[in-house]
Amino acid sequence: MIIDMPETTTTAVDKRLVRLRDEGGAVALGRVLTLVVIADEADVEIAVEAANDASREHPCRVLVLASAGPVDAAPRLDAQIRVGGDAGASEVVILRATGPLQDQPDAVVMPLLLPDAPIVVWWPREAPQAPSAHPIGRMAQRRITDSVMSGEPEAMIRSLGAHYADGDTDLAWARVTLWRGLLAAAVERPPFEPVTGVVIEGEKGHTSLDLLAGWLRARLRCPTTIAHQPGTTAITRVVLQRKSGDILLDRPDGRFVTISQAGAPDRRIALPIRKLSEALIEELRRLDPDEVYEEALVNGLPAVDAESAEAAA
């Protein structure tokens, strides 16, 4: 069910949600969190679709703030409520604010927040330089960005590192979870030698490469290089250099990875590129600070950049 409410107020929207709950039997107490999505108009439907998929594992109220018109326009709030089959296991409220209301996002969403439920904010594309300083970011327990979708992804991920605060995370990090598991398992196999160098190859601008490089640099404490290859998609190859022979993880097609190691037969494992909803679902599983992400972003990635700059000098 989709209900349009033009020229409305958040109080009227909240009352309508209560009435729908009473009429349809939806139980707001079953929502485990409030997910606030701050999106451009062009990204609203993509974000809502991903949030609906995520809500089947994490029932939530989804509040989407979409920019609508110039900030010097007359103040106006248009809302759309989606429940039932149009909202997955959530309640979706899309809010389009114009004029000075755009400068007060916290005041717009506050009447619609679920009481005593954690708040998670997600920027599907561009994000503020310091998400924790954003009016809604200050209220949130978890702040999710997606640097891969930014116009300048590599600059954005480094800016996020410079302004990191507990609770920050990026969907590029969730996209490398399976890679991290495979790499950890590969290093722990005989002959148990230290890794002397790492090379990560893949798509330029796909910041999963940067975060994976930062994680490996922080954990293995060895020189780590990012090599961008034209015509590739996401991460295509990781080479772990060791004295007895390299460990090679090769995924040229974005579907299967082949693990090659001296003295052992090749192994082929399914490793498809993760969907947006899959990455979002993973990040919604935890509300506490991610120390490993912090280590990769704040400590590991700057070390990779410093080594790269030194090699280019």
User: Could you write out the DSSP letters of every residue in 106-135?
Assistant: HHHHGGGSPTT--EEEE-SS---SSGGGST
C-alpha distances (whole Å) from 16 to each of 5, 83, 105, 218, 239 are: 10, 11, 20, 51, 56
| Residue 304 backbone dihedrals phi, psi, to 5 degrees | -65, -45
Q: Is the pLDDT of residue 73 over 80?
A: no
Q: Which residue has the tokens 């409410």?
A: 5
Model confidence pLDDT, tens digit, residues 202-226: 999 999 999 999 999 999 999 999 9
Q: What pTM was estimated for this model as a whole?
A: 0.93
pLDDT tens digit string along 91-146?
Answer: 899 999 888 788 889 999 999 998 889 999 999 999 999 999 999 999 999 999 99
